[in-house]
A and B are shown apart, each in its own frame.
Chain A
């Protein structure tokens, strides 16, 4: 199953927040609550943290496993935990119409 970003969703990474998140990460801090990008569509706004942003950026037609493999090399997380988190996150984006799944 391929995952695609909805091209109508406006989004950007927030430079200051991204710097803050990476600085925290390098000191071993939990940066889960630091939003580093903002998504905007039809008046609905959503903030994504560092990991969420990376997942979002990879939603360009890749499959869940391809995104997982890519992120495993960059984030120190158990594969099963990351997979579960990713799935929940992508389902939330899909419900909001921010991504679409392509089963063809």
Chain B
């Protein structure tokens, strides 16, 4: 077994969209495929005022399977009865979406409703317009004893703008973040190697380089499968192919080998062992090539 080219991913990120285009029982069937392929962790994300039947059916299908479930949802979707349902279905962590400091105001009430199960967290989508809020978000989580802070991966497969910040901006952010003491009880999940460095300047990025098409895969609302939410190279669609066939496809394996190649410009860089070439998705989106360094490195 090679840990850089696993036979099957460990975690899947799945965004759920409006059901009108979904195949009949498509969500439930895909959930069953996820369990069959021994995927260990599934993170569902839905941007809707209420949890859809699709999300509920996925969660119900996987309730007794060995898949660690987490959910990213809007504040309004997380009412008391929904939280109770998620608790009964053993959802491990529920993240409330936030994109500004103001959004956080509703968090304590939702945390009280959950009473610790499922564990509650904040999902803060970092973008150029709110990156300066990050120290405030961290301070909020510390002050309110929030157990989980997720800085989710951008969804570049949808064609949205790509977040990137310069070395100077990162240095400034690092300074501001360093003033906040992070308690051991706060688990911060960061996928961006440069955001990681701003938050933990002395700790090596734990993922060991880009995990697209290795430990992770991403399923879009339209059932397209990508190596990662940040890397808009489609490797299949679950309406047309079984998940197992996409995972074992030559296309996926070839792409993984391409991702593993360190960009030529990074080879002589002293930091490359730490950043491993940075985010390959951002490099692809901003330069059009997997062979270029992550522009956030500059």
Contacts and interface: CB of A to CB of B under 8 A. Distances in A.
Interface of A: 10-12, 14, 16-17, 34-36, 38, 40, 42-45, 47
Given A34-B1, A38-B1, A14 B7 contact: yes
Interface string B184-207: 000100000000000000000111
A38 B38 CA distance: 11
Contact of B206 (A12, A34, A44): A44
B40 interface: yes
Contacts of B10: 10, 12, 38, 40, 45
Contacts of A14: 1, 6-8
B33 to A, nearest CB: 15
Contacts of A35: 1, 3
21 contacts: A10-B10, A10-B40, A10-B41, A10-B68, A12-B38, A12-B40, A14-B1, A14-B8, A17-B1, A17-B7, A35-B3, A36-B1, A38-B3, A40-B11, A40-B40, A40-B41, A40-B215, A42-B187, A43-B206, A45-B208, A47-B1
A83 B230 CA distance: 46
A43 B38 contact: no
A9 B224 CA distance: 29
Contacts of B207: 43
Give the size range of B's interface with the partner. 10 to 19
Contact of A11 (B6, B7, B40): B40
Interface of B: 1, 3, 6-8, 10-11, 38, 40-41, 68, 187, 205-208, 215
Nearest to A34: B1
Given A10-B68, A40-B215, A47-B1, A16 B7 contact: yes
9 pairs of A and B residues whose beta carbons are closest in the complex: A43-B206, A35-B1, A10-B40, A43-B207, A17-B1, A12-B38, A40-B10, A14-B1, A45-B3
Contacts of B41: 10, 40
Contacts of B1: 14, 17, 34-36, 38, 47
A55 B11 CA distance: 24
A45 B40 contact: no
B40 A47 contact: no
B185 to A, nearest CB: 13
A66 to B, nearest CB: 24
A35 B6 CA distance: 11
A16 B7 CA distance: 9
A29 B274 CA distance: 37
User: Quick one: which of A16, A35, A44, A45 has the most chain B CB within 10 A?
Assistant: A45
A40 B68 CA distance: 12
A34 B3 CA distance: 12
A42 B6 contact: no
Nearest to A11: B40
Contacts of A12: 10, 38, 40
B160 to A, nearest CB: 25
Contact of A47 (B3, B7, B187): B3
User: Quick one: which of A10, A17, A44 has the most chain B CB within 10 A?
Assistant: A10
Nearest to B207: A43
Nearest to B196: A43
A48 to B, nearest CB: 9
Given A38-B6, A42-B187, 17 more contacts: A10-B10, A10-B11, A10-B68, A11-B40, A12-B38, A14-B6, A17-B1, A34-B1, A35-B3, A36-B1, A38-B3, A40-B11, A43-B205, A43-B208, A44-B206, A45-B10, A45-B215
